[in-house]
């Protein structure tokens, strides 16, 4: 078991993926969730909808933490410049996807932002990785990318909870591990490498990202009730005697 020892409030370990078509709908859900969610991931859908950074600032003004998930990928100079511009908005996390030079450029310009390197997307499985030309297993690829991210100076990585134990065994507790693809119940969507709440944290995740299971609960409860249930499960994990 690799339960996180980092000093993170329980209620901040849940990051809600705010994947909605516009700011108005996003804010309606934020108000509905109230204090059941403290940390929000804001990604590409809202970026393309416009007024993205207006929403980022509104969330921060509401006392929320914001994870800018744009998976920046371009020539190193361009990514570095983008991270430098991002510093003024108050984001807590930002994702970068790319080779060592891209990661190095983002770390150089990060200021107070914590840079998370993407390892392998949770929508990919071993067959997808092989189709992309990689000969290694997903576990080996994730660990290799995590090791490089650590050596370059990234603060953490995005990794499925399935590979989190490999990161903890190979690199200890040095990196923040954020685990997406969390499915509290049976998985029926496009995520292929999923784990539940308990497995993610026992495998070494520091944070989990949950979207659809909160936004569209399948058991007839409200989004706020779904978030509260997950928060209760997280608290039980970290309150349990070791």
The total of other beta-carbon atoms located within 10 Å of residue 111's CB is: 9
Counting DSSP H helices and E strands in the chain, the numbers are: 11, 8
Q: How many residues does the chain have?
A: 242
Please, are residues 116 and 175 in contact by the beta-carbon 8 Å criterion? Answer: no
The DSSP secondary structure of 15-54, one letter per residue, reads: EEE---SSHHHHHHHHHHHGGG--EEEE-HHHHHHS-HHH
Where in 50-110 does DSSP place strands (E)? Answer: 65-72, 93-96
Give catalytic status of residue 71 as yes or no. yes
* Dist CA 59 CA 100 (whole Å): 32
Catalytic residue among 71, 108, 114, 139: 71
Please, are residues 138 and 120 in contact by the beta-carbon 8 Å criterion? Answer: yes
Secondary structure, 3-state, 141-163: HHHHHHHHHHHHCCCEEECCCCC
Contacts of 156 (CB under 8 A, 6+ apart): 93, 114, 115, 116, 117, 149, 175, 176, 177, 178, 206
* Dist CA 231 CA 136 (whole Å): 36
Per the structure block, which two tokens stand in for 121?
């997307």
Closest by alpha carbon to 180, among 120, 240, 229?
A: 120
Task: Point out the residues that are catalytic.
Answer: 71
């Amino acid at each position: 078991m690799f339960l996180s020892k980092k000093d993170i409030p329980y209620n901040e370990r849940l990051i809600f993926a705010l994947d909605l078509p516009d700011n108005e709908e996003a804010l309606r859900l934020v108000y509905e969730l109230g204090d059941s969610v403290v940390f929000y991931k804001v990604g590409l859908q809202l970026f393309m909808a416009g007024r993205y950074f207006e929403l980022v600032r509104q969330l921060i003004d509401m006392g929320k933490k914001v994870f800018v998930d744009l998976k920046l990928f371009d020539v190193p100079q361009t990514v570095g410049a983008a991270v430098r511009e991002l510093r003024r908005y108050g984001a807590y996390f930002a994702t970068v996807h790319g080779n060592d030079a891209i990661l190095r450029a983002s770390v150089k310009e990060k200021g107070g932002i914590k840079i998370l390197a993407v390892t392998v997307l949770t929508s990919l499985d071993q067959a997808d990785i092989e189709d992309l030309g990689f000969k290694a297993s997903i576990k080996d690829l994730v660990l290799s990318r995590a090791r490089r991210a650590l050596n370059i100076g990234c603060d953490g990585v995005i990794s499925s909870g399935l590979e989190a134990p490999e990161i903890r065994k190979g690199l200890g507790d040095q990196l923040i591990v954020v685990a997406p693809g969390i499915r509290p119940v049976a998985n029926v969507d496009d995520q292929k490498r999923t784990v539940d709440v308990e497995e993610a944290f026992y495998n070494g995740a520091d944070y989990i990202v949950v979207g659809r299971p909160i936004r569209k609960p399948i058991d007839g409860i409200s989004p706020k009730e779904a978030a509260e249930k997950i928060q209760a499960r997280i608290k039980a994990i970290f309150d349990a005697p070791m």
